[in-house]
Structure 1
Amino acid sequence: MTDHSINERHPKEIRLIQKAQQVVVRKQFGSPDELKAAVYAALVNYLIEKELIRTGPFDATFHPTASLDALSEEKIRAFIRIAQTRRGFKLADTTPLLSVLEHLNLAVDGRLTHAALLLFGNDPQRYFINSEVRCAHFHGSEVAKPIPSYKVFKGDVFELVDQAVDFVLAKLDYTVGTRSQSNTIPGHYEIPRAMVVEAIVNAVVHRDYTHNGSVQIMLFSDRLEIINPGALPLGWTTEKLKGLHISVPANPLLAEPMYLGSYIERLGTGTADIIRIAQEHQLPAPDFVQSDDFKTILYRPFTPQVPLKYPPSTHQVPDKLPSSWHPHPMDYATIGIEVRNLLKVVVGEMSRQELQEALGLKDRVNFRTNYLDPAVQAGLLVMKFPGNPRHPKQKYRVTEKGEEVKREYLP
């Protein structure tokens, strides 16, 4: 393009240039290739400014429409109290919400990041429908219908982890040790809780939230599979996960609050810890598989062939409980593994919170629905204040019927 002086231009041309300069930037170019490069760069900058493309992590991207009303103040205040206790978080729970979010890099100038909505949103799935977690339990070692138990969990990332962990633990056998050395209740799940939590947290925190898929958790008779739409950092292999490695979170703004809430560490020890705990409990070594998605496989204990207490046709337990307990015989099968595990941890009189903590469960609704209420309704537990179920000092103890179940049918 030839550069003409102002005196060589027509007055109308000058007015057009002056008008255009108010909305565009003029640049010189010496060839068609220079023009194409300049236009391409300008388009990329425009798309970044309009947030139609991004160069940073998904969780750090600003949501175009969400406001502070989309977040739960109660969740943020509760998070601060937990972070103070467990990680020495500096901010007080009276700190203005926006200041808390800005401190955690979850908001800038009142604009919310995707991470803010996933962590503290009233309804995160309204903005990210694929952020749910799907859990299924199968009796065999393959995916087959009918599915005995299937749940789709929604909520913020803390709730997703808690609900998914509780779903898995509800299907695992709980073993109680001796109490000779302590008044506490020593015990562990067949797949230790720490392994389950670590694998599920990794799936929720490190997944690719731009993918249309959801985290899927499937419990089989021989293993637990946790699948998330995501990939290892560029150049990493699954072998690297088996040793100590640096932490490279796919969603760093999600990872920091999860660390402050004591859900994860920041040292890159998560997968190594899973392997170590498996070794300590003499479980098969976990597997990590990267294909179209990322899969963590935790194996249930290998059970050697030993004489069965009951014939296989009755699933190792009698079909009926003695009719002396009740005018009508009760199917033992109706006593789920959740209630059986609950009976194992009851010592004397215990509160709802004590029982829930003994089993390592977080979801209060799940605990009441699947553990406590069925045990009481079956006559295996009794309340200290039966006339007032919500009594502030309510406690539970095992009935005579429950004690007989523990002696005869629980290991």
Structure 2
Amino acid sequence: MALPVNIEELIHGETVEWARIELKKGWNAKKVMHTMCAFANDIHNWGGGYLIVGVEEVDGQAKLPPEGIEQSTIDGIQKELLQLSHRITPNYFPIVEPYILDQKHILVIWCPAGDFRPFSAPASLEKGAHRNYYIRLNSNTVIAPQHSAEYNRLMELAARIPFDDRVNNQASIDDLDLGLIREYLQEIKSGLFEDSAHLPLADLCRTMHIAKGPNEDIRPVNVGLLFFSKEPHQFFDRAWIELVIHKGNSGKDFEEKYYKGPLHKQLREALYFIKNNIVSEQVIKHADKAESDRFFNYPFGAIEEVLANAVYHKSYEHGAPIEIQIFPDRITILSHPGPVPPVNAHVMANQKQIIAREYRNRRIGDFLKELHLTEGRGTGFPTIYKALADNGSPTPTFETDEASYVMVVIPIHDRFKGTESDGAGDGVSDDVKAPKFNTLNDVIVFCDQVSDQAGNQVSNQVSNQVSKQVKTLVEQNVNDKVLSILAFLEKGPKSMSELLSHIGVSKQTKNKRKYIDPLFDIDWLAYTIPENPRDRNQKYKITESGKKLLKILNK
């Protein structure tokens, strides 16, 4: 069974930090066992790691094409891995998957952080060997010597599971939405996407480590509910983003917006609104030179990084939303609680690069990184400062009482002079701006978040050129039958047979997966009987998001 990650990006270190990846040219049972133990101990709450057998490491990077391993040895290695799992105490079982990379066989061993720390392993494979506690320091697997700071830290973590990785006993496996899960797997290009079409939901969730427990009482973990339930705030009080637009500094004239739903969707929707309604560019021409000065009131890259980090590091045990306040001269982003030690107010105010010892949410970060919504450890602060410096903006301010909150203040560009039409003078324009679509996700987010009134106006706001661009994006990333399917469904709900017949293809599972499932997964289609997907009277209907897309495509 495939793993819920993009293997190509994993091997290139694009979504998982190198400290969490161990490359092995060949099989070495003892070293693999020690690294499995270290990833299971997860002393920094990074979320475990990955062992890749068959790929050599050169100067901290994967040497490609890979050396590979003999196909005939894979079964034997997997059997030996099971024996090694029993040598670790408590017993620890990673998830193993063979892959073919550049026509070479490799083995990817996913070692999620263990729930029953601390784990120990024998120093050698010989009977009666002395046992050690192994941990990861930077990119190395080392022993945590007794009474050392690392050893004491590991003992403190005994059976302590970060909140986002804990089982939620107030929810059931049915609270996880299969459509959201498949949409995520498709977006990150995981090989598990194809398997997910026929896997039982419980097995799929176990494979992704978003549910735990025996078959008779399998329960979702918190990170699964945060990303793959339609309304996470039902389980986590006020787990949403609030955006307040102030018309002035008096605090009396303002407009509020709420972004709810799965974490990645609310993050994208809030960023989409800010990008298209708050961020504005100003151009100053000079009589004595051809080049003009161009700058933004706020560089979008800085806002994106600050808000993504707020979602990543917020505590979802606290009933407090992330708050974005947009004033005429600044944007503030507030999240709760304070930073994780040893980061404090002095560090935040004086260091432009911060690498935390541990993270509050080890699993949330992994999902955001796979979706390219945040980067690796320690990259947030440099990204924010660079985006502001490149735009010529003032430096940001970081405030915290070290216990209850972190607030980032992004000041407006000193030379920015807004106009009534660009929204910079009062924080936002009164009219909905014509959206900018650069990726398929821009289209999906627009259809999800735009108001009904704006949806009715969209055909007047979007130019023919943009409409053609959207059509190209949809056809290239989904399929070329989308317009035909949506237009047919506008006349009323249709069965799968009717839909496939309408677009001129045979009634086969492969055609359903190609033409219907992708639209269902991104919420442009919905069931007429959602409580029983296998009902023999089941039909498909167009959603509100699908109707808005159809208006764009019909421009």
The interval holding the TM-score normalised by the smaller chain is 0.5 to 0.7
2:270 to 139, 164, 176: 164
TM-aligned CA distance change 1:158 to 1:213, over 3 Å: same
TM-aligned CA distance change 1:382 to 1:176, over 3 Å: farther
Match of 1:262 in 2: 372
Report 1:67-146 matches (<5 A): 67-84=172-189, 89-95=190-196, 96=199, 97-109=201-213, 110-141=218-249, 144-146=251-253
Please tell me whether residue 155 in structure 1 is matched to residue 314 in structure 2: no
TM-aligned CA distance change 1:247 to 1:381, over 3 Å: farther
1:290 to 400, 404, 410: 400
Quote how far apart the aligned CAs of 1:200 are: 1.2
Report 1:185-224 matches (<5 A): 190-224=297-331
Match of 1:275 in 2: 385
CA distance in 1, matches of 2:296, 2:444: 12
Mapped contact 1:247–1:267 kept (Cα < 8 A) = no
2:445 to 339, 357, 362: 362
Q: Which amino acid aligns with 1:271?
A: F
Mapped contact 2:447–2:549 kept (Cα < 8 A) = no
Render the CA deviation track for 1:318-362: whole Å, top value 9, x for unaligned. Answer: xxxxxxxxxxxxxxx9x94654x539x7xxxxxxx56997x8993
2:553 to 388, 394, 397: 394
User: Equivalent residue of 1:221, what SS?
Assistant: coil
Bigger-Rg structure (1/2): 1
TM-score scaled by length of structure 1: 0.61
Render the CA deviation track for 1:283-331: whole Å, top value 9, x for unaligned. Answer: 11111111231111112212368xx9xxxxxx767xxxxxxxxxxxxxx
CA distance in 1, matches of 2:238, 2:320: 6
User: Equivalent residue of 1:226, what SS?
Assistant: strand
Match of 2:415 in 1: 303
Match of 1:45 in 2: none
Match of 2:129 in 1: none
Match of 2:341 in 1: 234
Quote how far apart the aligned CAs of 1:271 are: 2.0
User: Equivalent residue of 1:211, what SS?
Assistant: coil
Across the aligned residues of Structure 1 and Structure 2, the Cα RMSD in angstroms comes to 3.7
CA distance in 2, matches of 1:316, 1:123: 37
TM-aligned CA distance change 1:240 to 1:302, over 3 Å: closer
Mapped contact 1:193–1:360 kept (Cα < 8 A) = no
Render the CA deviation track for 1:169-223: whole Å, top value 9, x for unaligned. Answer: 343243388xxxxxxxxx9853222222211111122111122221111101111
2:434 to 328, 342, 347: 342
TM-aligned CA distance change 1:279 to 1:230, over 3 Å: same
Render the CA deviation track for 1:24-77: whole Å, top value 9, x for unaligned. Answer: xxxxxxxxxxxxxxxxxxxxxxxxxxxxxx832111121113111101111100
Quote how far apart the aligned CAs of 1:121 are: 0.7
TM-aligned CA distance change 1:122 to 1:365, over 3 Å: closer
Quote how far apart the aligned CAs of 1:224 are: 0.8
TM-score scaled by length of structure 2: 0.46
Aligned length: 292
CA distance in 2, matches of 1:370, 1:281: 34
Render the CA deviation track for 1:221-257: whole Å, top value 9, x for unaligned. Answer: 1111110112212121314652152574311111111
Quote how far apart the aligned CAs of 1:371 are: 6.0
TM-aligned CA distance change 1:355 to 1:337, over 3 Å: farther
Quote how far apart the aligned CAs of 1:111 are: 2.2
Q: Which amino acid aligns with 1:67?
A: S
Mapped contact 1:139–1:220 kept (Cα < 8 A) = yes
Q: Which amino acid aligns with 2:399?
A: V
TM-aligned CA distance change 1:156 to 1:173, over 3 Å: closer
Mapped contact 1:70–1:123 kept (Cα < 8 A) = no
User: Equivalent residue of 2:323, what SS?
Assistant: strand
Mapped contact 1:172–1:189 kept (Cα < 8 A) = no
User: Equivalent residue of 2:340, what SS?
Assistant: coil
Quote how far apart the aligned CAs of 1:281 are: 0.6
TM-aligned CA distance change 1:279 to 1:395, over 3 Å: farther
User: Equivalent residue of 2:195, what SS?
Assistant: coil
Gaps of 5+ in 2: 1-158, 284-293, 469-486, 488-547
Gaps of 5+ in 1: 1-53, 178-186, 309-314, 318-332, 346-352, 397-411
TM-aligned CA distance change 1:202 to 1:100, over 3 Å: farther
TM-aligned CA distance change 1:188 to 1:77, over 3 Å: farther
TM-aligned CA distance change 1:254 to 1:93, over 3 Å: farther
Between structures 1 and 2, the one with greater strand share: 2
User: Equivalent residue of 2:268, what SS?
Assistant: helix
Mapped contact 1:63–1:111 kept (Cα < 8 A) = yes
Q: Which amino acid aligns with 1:92?
A: F
User: Equivalent residue of 2:381, what SS?
Assistant: helix
CA distance in 2, matches of 1:362, 1:191: 21
Worse-superposed segment, 129-138 or 165-174: 165-174
Q: Which amino acid aligns with 1:298?
A: I
CA distance in 2, matches of 1:304, 1:65: 50
CA distance in 1, matches of 2:356, 2:176: 32
CA distance in 1, matches of 2:440, 2:193: 29
Mapped contact 1:216–1:227 kept (Cα < 8 A) = yes
